[in-house]
Amino acid sequence: MDKVSRRRALSVLTLTQPALFATVFSLHIVFCNTLLVYLILIGGLELVSSLYWVTANTLLRDVVTAGNYVSQAGYSEVSSQVPALIAAGSAVFLLRLPFEYLLVFGGSLAFGAARLISGIPEYEANSADGNSGNTAWGKNGFRYGAGAVEFFGYIRKRMVQVLLVYMIGFPFVFTVVGNFVKPVFITSILHGDPSFLAFSAAEYAASAIIAGLLIPIVQRRLGDETTLVLLFTAYTSASIVMPTYASYAVFTVCKAIHGVGNPGSGVVRKAVVLRWVERGELGRFNGWVSLLFTLTRIVIIGTSTLMIGVG
């Protein structure tokens, strides 16, 4: 990511998702193995999504200023959650449409998004003001050389910072893992229907928008450490209480707390990374943190699956 145009990479990844859906839909027509097609879809979406967010968070450095990292990290969280809120609210109605219509609709949105992304300027980060007037994609990308040796050498030097950012992101890891369990909990324990699942997603996104607006204010007043302690405490408490009571009210309250705790810690994490890491290193740094997140999720989901199977 440090050796290519981040803007172009993000545009390609934006268009890859509808292409993946179209490919999987074609496979579904040819093959009768629904489970295999579903696994291909989920695996492909996970890969594209991981690469997309690493690229987006890396490109963020080009559109923010050094003196305002905290606020703009919050705004980026808001901008990512508003579409999620709209999608969750419209999912109940869109699910009634034929898949072909949904594919055309999603593809049109992706093309529109890619067109907007192509207009984002790429500038080299400047330590004084966060921006300079020189386009610089790839300029710093080759500073540390190419290949795996240089990559791991860089990570070895930055291991403490990588591990710290990784630990800050633990609510994100558990939220993603919980997304696999949530539909089962809603249908089996709460006996809810898909509309309640959509409502919970909308509630989470709305809480995340509030977090994106308020956490930067709290972060400035209390500092990074105190803000993280409060967010982690709230998130952990809700995670313990939620499965204890088979109640819609308890689930709704805990989901709202999760919607503040996880995105709130994400705002702090983005601000810390933007403050610490040079532009030419962001791709490697964010990529390595994302890799650790993914490995942790695999271990947790695999262990949970084995425990359920044994049970």
Mean pLDDT of 249-278: 88
* Identity of residue 190: L
Give the whole-angstrom CA distance, residue 238 versus residue 205: 16
Q: Which of 5, 32, 55 is nearest to 284 (CA)?
A: 55
H-type helices in the chain, by residue range?
A: 6-30, 34-59, 69-94, 99-117, 148-157, 159-168, 170-184, 194-222, 224-241, 248-276, 282-310
DSSP string of 209-220, one letter each residue: HHHHHHHHHHHH
Contact 136, 54 (CB under 8 A): no
Q: At residue 147, does pLDDT exceed 50? A: yes
- Beta-carbon contacts of 157 under 8 Å, excluding residues fewer than 6 positions away, are none
The model's confidence at residue 140, banded by pLDDT at 50, 70 and 90, is very low
Classify the C-alpha dihedral 26-28-33-35 as positive or negative: positive
Give the whole-angstrom CA distance, residue 28 versus residue 238: 39
Q: pLDDT tens for residues 62-85? A: 776 666 777 777 878 888 777 777
Q: At residue 196, does pLDDT exceed 90? A: no
Q: 93 vs 296, which has greater pLDDT?
A: 296
Q: pLDDT tens for residues 41-55? A: 878 888 888 888 888
Give the per-residue pLDDT at 130: 39
Mean pLDDT of 175-204: 82
Mean pLDDT of 89-94: 73
Give the per-residue pLDDT at 125: 44
Give the per-residue pLDDT at 127: 39
Q: The tokens of 237 are what? A: 């408490």
The model's confidence at residue 258, banded by pLDDT at 50, 70 and 90, is very high
